[in-house]
Each structure stands twice: as C-alpha cells, then as structure tokens.
Amino acid sequence: MAGLGWQGKSLLIVNPEYGPRFRLATIFTDMHLIPDYPIENRCGTCTECVQACPASAIKNVSTDSNYLTRDIAIDLKRCNEKLHEFKAMPHISASICGVCIKVCPYGKR
C-alpha cells in the first residue's frame, strides 16, 4: 500500500495520522516518484471497530500485512443486510454506515 497505511480489521486502509478517514484518488503522471515502504499493521489487540459494528460483521482477525480474501476479515453478507436496513430508515437515501470509521482510534483528534 505504498506507505499510505495498513489494512485494518474492517478492511479499510488505516493511516497513522488520519486513521481510515481519508479518500484515495488517482493521478496519472510521468513524474519520477520514490516509493515508500509498507507500514506495519498497528491494529494489534484493538477491537474498537469489532465491538462497534452494528452488523457484527467484523471478525476480529489480525494480520501482519493483508488478508488473503475479504471473507477472512468480514462477513460481507451481514454488512450488506445491515446497510439495507439502514437505507429503509426514514431520511436515509443511501446504503451507508461508517461506524467502523468513526470509532477507529487512529486519526481521532
């Protein structure tokens, strides 16, 4: 992940400064860039996202680098079902959640 962060238990990229609270964009360039080194996974024994997940979809599996498949880390069916529940609520027009982003201790002020 080129030094941007590590793959968290929620499968989001977690940056040491911003946590999972950032978005990626693509820039095409022919400029010479010096690559960064991967950042070691720092989730460790933290279970904030696991405990807060309203779908109980995050499985609390740690990894040193990245997960071989998404299914190892998250029950995507449970997550998707909860998103549909949220979308059916009044005044919510999209399938959104973001609880795991909110509770991640990295990037909190």
* Confidence check: pLDDT of 1 > 60: no
| pTM of structure | 0.84
pLDDT for residue 9: 95
Q: Is 94 helix (H, G, I), strand (E, B) or coil?
A: coil
9-42 pLDDT tens trace = 999 999 999 999 998 899 899 999 888 888 899 9
pLDDT tens track for 66-85: 788 999 999 999 999 998 88
> What is the distance between the alpha carbons of residues 77 and 55, in angstroms, rounded to a whole number?
9
Q: Among residues of the chain, what percentage have pLDDT more than 90?
A: 61
What is 37-90 written as a DSSP string?
A: PPPPP--TT--HHHHH-TT--B-----SS--SSHHHHB-HHHHHHHHHHHHTST
